[in-house]
Amino acid sequence: MIRLHHVTKSYPTGSTALSDVTLQIEKGEFAFLTGPSGSGKTTLLRLVLREELPTTGSIVVNGRNVATMPARDVPYLRRTMGVVFQDFKLILAKTVLENLILVQEAVGVPRAEHKTRAMRVLKQVSLQHKLNNYPIQLSGGEQQRVAIARALVNEPLILLADEPTGNLDPDLAEDIIALLREINAHGTTVLVATHDRDMIRRFGRKVFHLKAGALLEMGRAEYRAATAAGAAADDAES
């Protein structure tokens, strides 16, 4: 479903965000992308979304090479993905329902389906009673659940989450991860970028660990062992 093959991303300033990264995430998998701040997690997600182009290497999403894809096809690639951010990025001037309708309008979902779809995903994130609230009237956890609902409303095949629990307290963070696992259980491929080690130790099955742009792929047991040994060094970096 998502394949990166020897991907390197360097900038004209000379800095390298990713160095020869190769990874594969299969359809229906739930994977964590971890590493200290500045290790390249967000860059990797931006490359998958074709917000940036790799310097070398190929990125294949749903069988198509994102790096060589013509610009006119990029919107259609993005329609197969939902995105969740640490800072939610909800439109504050619009209600919860309007936020969910806006993204449906953007991809041409028929008007008659807007509310039905919005209600379905709001129910999924247990916020069906907040549809007429403005984001500012919601707690941080609720705002992130609205953001997840927005990412799901266009029925994406892949959900990308960039530090989705970064602004939340531990209990709410756990709720959000549980919600993402539930979404994954319904068949959506989920890739979560986070530097929350505790979260990964408890929930991580497939973990990609980035360190200074280079990748180590490991399972939960390996990650536990690796982070136990390298925690002090990582903490110092982050």
Residues that bind other proteins (CB under 8 A): 49, 51, 71-72, 74-79, 82-83, 89, 91, 102-103, 105-108, 110-111, 150, 154
Nearer to other proteins, 120 or 205 (CB): 120
Whether 36 contacts 237, CB under 8 Å: yes
Question: In the bound complex, what is the minimum distance in angstroms from residue 190's beta carbon to other proteins?
Answer: 16
Whether 183 contacts 190, CB under 8 Å: yes
Question: In the bound complex, what is the minimum distance in angstroms from residue 150's beta carbon to other proteins?
Answer: 8
Question: In the bound complex, what is the minimum distance in angstroms from residue 71's beta carbon to other proteins?
Answer: 6
Nearer to other proteins, 74 or 218 (CB): 74
Question: In the bound complex, what is the minimum distance in angstroms from residue 151's beta carbon to other proteins?
Answer: 8
* Among the listed residues 214, 174, 219, 189, the one whose alpha carbon sits nearest the alpha carbon of residue 35: 214
Nearer to other proteins, 71 or 232 (CB): 71
Residue in the block written with tokens 């505790």: 198
Nearer to other proteins, 36 or 156 (CB): 156
Strand stretches in 2-92, DSSP E: 2-10, 16-25, 30-34, 56-61, 64-65, 81-85
At 181, which amino acid appears? R
At 89, which amino acid appears? K
Alpha helices in the chain (DSSP H): 41-48, 74-78, 96-106, 111-124, 140-152, 170-185, 197-203, 220-237
Question: In the bound complex, what is the minimum distance in angstroms from residue 45's beta carbon to other proteins?
Answer: 11
Nearer to other proteins, 91 or 225 (CB): 91
Question: In the bound complex, what is the minimum distance in angstroms from residue 70's beta carbon to other proteins?
Answer: 11
Gap between the Cα atoms of 14 and 177, Å rounded: 36
Nearer to other proteins, 85 or 203 (CB): 85
Question: In the bound complex, what is the minimum distance in angstroms from residue 91's beta carbon to other proteins?
Answer: 5
Whether 117 contacts 108, CB under 8 Å: no
Helices 96-106, 140-152: crossing angle, 10 deg rounding: 30
Nearer to other proteins, 78 or 130 (CB): 78
Gap between the Cα atoms of 180 and 21, Å rounded: 25
Gap between the Cα atoms of 136 and 157, Å rounded: 29
